[in-house]
Structure 1
Amino acid sequence: MSNPPPPPPPRWVVELNTTPAARPKNTSLVDPPGFSGSGRKGNSSKKDVAAPRKAPTTEETDTLKMKKAWELAIAPAKALPMNAIGMYMSGNSLQIFSVMMVFMCFKTPLLAVLNIQATFARLESPGTKDKMLLVKITFVLMNLLAVALGTWKVNQMGLLPTTSSDWLAWESARDPLERAFPDFAT
């Protein structure tokens, strides 16, 4: 008994394995940049070859460095809304998630401020050195906003001693001044 012949492959397999027929080129449409119409490498016309790019001037480089420095300085403020939403959603109870969020809200800005020189070192040049002071001050202020957000969350969790009743334990342990130092005149 002989085996029946295998079924023919699906149409999509046949279409995938065959090369598409050449289509007539529409002259009203221009090829996209970097596309050679022939489909073969090495067969490009003179207009396809790009002219070499000229090197940027020092002023252009300094302008780009300052733009990047300002982006870095403002970046901590861009993260504040997401941190605030996460802290709001974590609730005010003492749970591992809320405690870790508060810890990260303090740790990240403090480490960023401590590493401020390394952050902006690659952007400093003789042309941008005098302008970097304002950028660094802005960077520090934006990180202080993140610390303020963490402080707000700690207060919402009830961990900051803000009322007089929070200090009652210290008052009862301390002796009144009259008992601590007896009157020697009598």
Structure 2
Amino acid sequence: MADLKSWKMDFESLIPDRKSQTDPPGYDASIAKDPIGMLSSSKAKDKNALARRQQALYAKATAPIKQVGMMCFMAWMFGNSIQIFSIFMTFNLISAPVSAIMSSGEVFPRDEEWKQLDTLTPRALYCLVNLGQLIFGLYKLSAMRLLPSSPSDFISTMPVPPVLEHAYPAL
């Protein structure tokens, strides 16, 4: 049989010796002990954090662009005929951006910790994106002839303008 003493391991050699260990790459002991160096690096971190927060606000402001584009495309695909689905779609084209614009203050609140943070520009961009959907919804209402477009729509004594074209089904 094999001698078991040859398999013995000396654990005393595994005790870490501080002098034999080196610092990891990028570690500077003088910066770790210097409080002024720490303050200057925290200011840089704050600047980076401010830039990241500003980027997050712009990302939040431009997030509805895909949704607005899809809603406008779906409304265009429904056509201008007066049907229940196209009327509901048009109502949604108008009501969703109005509620989004009204609640933009909750989406972009003022942060008391970050007073340098610009929330006005992303909020204006967010409102502009939603205003585009609102304008398309009003255009859709006009194309469906649901908006008043002549004086006779408001005053009953005025004559109705003549119809310029007629559509007849195929025989």
> Shorter-chain TM-score: what band?
0.5 to 0.7
1:125 shift after superposition = 4.2
| Kept after mapping to 1: 8 A contact 2:62/2:125 | yes
| Kept after mapping to 2: 8 A contact 1:62/1:127 | no
What letter matches 1:136 in structure 2?
Answer: R
Correspondence for 1:162: 149
Alpha-carbon distance in 1 for matches of 2:112, 2:120: 11
- RMSD over aligned CA atoms reads 2.6
1:81 shift after superposition = 2.2
Alpha-carbon distance in 1 for matches of 2:151, 2:141: 18
Correspondence for 2:138: 151
Alpha-carbon distance in 1 for matches of 2:157, 2:82: 24
Alpha-carbon distance in 2 for matches of 1:141, 1:133: 12
Correspondence for 1:57: 45
The alignment partner of 1:102 has SS state of helix
What TM-score, normalized by structure 1, do the two folds share?
0.54
What letter matches 1:80 in structure 2?
Answer: V
The alignment partner of 2:70 has SS state of helix
Percent identity between matched residues is 27
What pairs up with 1:1-186 in 2 under 5 angstroms?
57-121=45-109, 125-129=113-117, 131-167=118-154, 169=156, 171=158
Alpha-carbon distance in 2 for matches of 1:86, 1:73: 22
Structure 2's unaligned 5+ residue stretches are: 1-41, 160-171
* Distance change (3 Å), C-alpha of 1:122 and 1:78: farther
* Distance change (3 Å), C-alpha of 1:128 and 1:100: farther
Q: Cα deviation per residue 1:25-66 (whole Å; 9 max; x = unaligned)?
A: xxxxxxxxxxxxxxxxxxxxxxxxxxxxxx992222221111
| Kept after mapping to 1: 8 A contact 2:50/2:114 | no
Alpha-carbon distance in 2 for matches of 1:58, 1:112: 31
* Distance change (3 Å), C-alpha of 1:133 and 1:122: closer
What TM-score, normalized by structure 2, do the two folds share?
0.58
Structure 1's unaligned 5+ residue stretches are: 1-54, 173-186
* Distance change (3 Å), C-alpha of 1:110 and 1:124: farther
